[in-house]
């Protein structure tokens, strides 16, 4: 079956299509995809992963056409960033 592995790093985004066995889990696919070599900063034991925006465990089974998303930590707190934007707009 075919699945996608995607990761949006700070400098580069990768979207890889990969053929995997029917009973493959998320961790197996990530390791097989080669994305860990492309983005050595990825630590699958720390970062969260999901399928189509829904968080999943590394041992979750996949379906044909699934897109595995590897999430990196947020650079800024979303609420704090919103406050800064609102304050900046109020000053202009």
How does pLDDT run across 1-28, given as a tens digit for each residue? 999 999 998 888 999 999 999 999 999 9
Q: How many CB atoms lie within 10 A of CB 4?
A: 16
What does the angle CA 15 – CA 77 – CA 47 come to, to the nearest 5 degrees?
40
Query: Which CATH superfamily, name and number, covers 2-91?
Result: Beta-grasp domain (3.10.20.30)
Q: What percent of the chain has pLDDT over 90?
A: 65
How, if at all, do strands 54-56 and 48-51 pair? antiparallel
Residue 14 to residue 19: CA distance in whole angstroms:
16
How distant is the alpha carbon of residue 44 from its chain centre? 10
| Confidence band of 37 (pLDDT split at 50, 70, 90) | very high
The two tokens of residue 71 are 């999430």
The answer to whether 32 touches 18, Cβ cutoff 8 Å, is: yes
For residue 31, with 0-12 CB atoms within 10 Å meaning exposed, 13-18 middle and 19 or more buried, which class applies? exposed
Please give the residue that has the higher pLDDT: either 45 or 62: 62
């Amino acid at each position: 079956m075919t699945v996608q592995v995607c990761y949006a790093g700070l400098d580069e985004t990768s979207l890889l299509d990969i053929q995997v066995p029917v009973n493959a889990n998320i961790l197996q696919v990530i390791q097989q995809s080669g994305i860990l070599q492309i983005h050595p900063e990825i630590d699958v034991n720390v970062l969260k992963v999901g399928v189509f925006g829904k968080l999943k465990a590394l041992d979750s089974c996949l379906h044909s056409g699934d897109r595995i998303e590897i999430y990196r930590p947020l650079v800024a707190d979303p609420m704090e960033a919103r406050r800064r934007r609102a304050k900046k707009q109020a000053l202009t």
